[in-house]
């Protein structure tokens, strides 16, 4: 049973400046819900109710979001506006939230290593909230938990991307084990297009076994001088087994404007489709 999910949320979100000048990028809303809330919802649905944030300076709005807002709640008590808080209240009832700070931005691997103090010695999920996933039938992290139950090893979610986009992602090469599931031979962080071993890109959903922390501690800086989770997973793949899972569903890269707008349209249409009597003004 995986009970903890780690959210690295210390990054700056420079692509969204000026919006992210004083606001965490994870608080950017897709329709009326911040990105981070979609992620926490997905973790909770996968049974991970201990939510661990690796946070940073200027990110306190995230802590406030997963807490009571007494004055506001008192004001809207008994009004129709209260309905808008139902989901977040349910999350707050079901989950616990803990925080630690990454002092210096030294890459995703460093952020995950910083989270060890909150995770301890157990397998855990990782969600990068920028990647907003809509699972087909089942949330993506829940799909991955099923695979973990069977194989008990680290798993990365993968998606086929156009070849010219491979340099934006960690890319795996591997052998098909069963439908949608690859045994990873190797993986490389953001390779130049002509050096990408495939077009199977890692997206922001991971299940990691806790030995990853030792590996991260002993890892030299990789791409861009940062500690890369991809490099640590490569070590695990060589020592034991790492799986790449081609998830069922769609993903929006909300760390980029195009993906953010596409997600906004998609989720708005979903909301609107479920309320057919309302017209859009
Ligand atoms: C990180 C990882 C990369 C992965 C990507 C998914 O990169 O380092 O391997 O493909 O997340 O979103 P970032 O987007 O943080 O640069």
Residues 6+ apart with CB under 8 A from 227: 106, 107, 108, 109, 110, 113, 216, 219, 221
Residue 280 in any domain: the answer is no
Total count of domains within the chain: 1
Give pLDDT tens digits along the chain (281 positions).
Answer: 999 999 999 988 889 999 999 999 999 999 999 999 999 999 999 999 999 999 998 899 999 999 999 999 899 999 998 999 999 999 999 999 999 999 998 999 999 999 999 999 999 999 999 999 999 999 999 999 999 999 999 999 999 999 999 999 999 999 999 999 999 999 999 999 999 999 999 999 999 999 999 999 999 999 999 999 999 999 999 999 999 999 999 999 999 999 999 999 999 999 888 765 555 55
What pLDDT sits at residue 281? 54
Q: What is the pTM of this model?
A: 0.95
Residues 6+ apart with CB under 8 A from 126: 5, 6, 7, 8, 112, 204, 205, 206, 207, 208, 229
Residue 45 in any domain: the answer is yes
User: Which residue's CA is the nearest one to ligand 1's atom 14?
Assistant: 169
Residue 149 in any domain: the answer is yes
Residue 281 in any domain: the answer is no
Query: Distance, CA 239 to ligand 1 centroid (Å)?
Result: 23
What pLDDT sits at residue 278? 52
pLDDT in tens, 92-129: 999 999 999 999 989 999 999 999 999 999 999 999 99
Ligand 1 pocket check for 128: Cβ under 6 Å:
yes
User: Which residue's CA is the nearest one to ligand 1's atom 11?
Assistant: 204
Q: Residue 230 CA: which ligand 1 atom is closest?
A: 9
196: domain CATH number is 3.90.550.10
Q: Residue 201 CA: which ligand 1 atom is closest?
A: 10
Residue 279 in any domain: the answer is no
Residue 205 in any domain: the answer is yes
Ligand 1 pocket check for 189: Cβ under 6 Å:
yes
Helices and strands, number each (H, E), in the chain: 10, 13
For the chain, where are the E strands, in sequence order? 4-8, 29-30, 33-34, 50-55, 96-101, 124-127, 131-135, 154-160, 170-178, 181-189, 200-208, 242-246, 249-253
d(C-alpha 121, C-alpha 143), whole Å: 23
What pLDDT sits at residue 170? 97
What pLDDT sits at residue 276? 56
Ligand 1 pocket check for 8: Cβ under 6 Å:
no
- Which is nearest to 252 in space by CA: 39, 62, 24? 39
What pLDDT sits at residue 275? 67
Q: Could you tell me the two tokens for 17?
A: 């400046």
Ligand 1 pocket check for 172: Cβ under 6 Å:
no
What phi and psi, each to the nearest 5 degrees, are found at residue 190? 45, 60
Domain containing 172: what range?
Answer: 4-274
What pLDDT sits at residue 279? 53
């Amino acid at each position: 049973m995986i009970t903890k999910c780690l959210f690295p949320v210390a990054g700056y979100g420079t692509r969204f400046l000026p919006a992210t000048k004083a606001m965490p990028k994870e608080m950017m809303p897709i329709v009326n819900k911040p990105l981070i809330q979609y992620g926490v919802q997905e973790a909770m649905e996968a049974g991970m109710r201990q939510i661990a944030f690796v946070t940073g300076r200027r990110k306190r709005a995230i802590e406030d979001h997963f807490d009571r807002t007494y004055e506001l709640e008192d004001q809207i008590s008994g009004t129709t506006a209260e309905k808008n808080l139902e989901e977040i209240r349910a999350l707050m009832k079901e989950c616990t939230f803990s925080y630690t700070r990454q002092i210096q931005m030294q890459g995703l691997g460093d952020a995950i290593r910083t989270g060890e103090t909150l995770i301890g010695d157990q397998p855990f999920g990782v969600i990068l909230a920028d990647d907003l996933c809509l699972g087909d039938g089942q949330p993506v992290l829940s799909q991955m938990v099923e695979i973990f139950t069977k194989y008990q090893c680290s798993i990365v979610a993968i998606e086929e991307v156009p070849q010219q986009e491979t340099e934006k992602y960690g890319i795996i090469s591997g052998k098909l084990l069963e439908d949608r599931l690859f045994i990873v031979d190797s993986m490389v962080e953001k390779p130049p297009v002509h050096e990408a071993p495939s077009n199977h890109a890692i997206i922001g959903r991971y299940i990691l076994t806790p030995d990853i922390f030792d590996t991260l501690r002993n890892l030299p800086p990789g791409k861009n001088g940062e500690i890369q989770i991809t490099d640590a997973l490569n070590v695990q793949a060589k020592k034991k087994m790492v799986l790449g899972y081609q998830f069922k569903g769609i993903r929006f890269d909300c760390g980029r404007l195009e993906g953010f707008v596409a997600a906004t349209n998609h989720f708005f249409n979903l909301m609107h489709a479920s309320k057919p009597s309302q017209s859009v003004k």
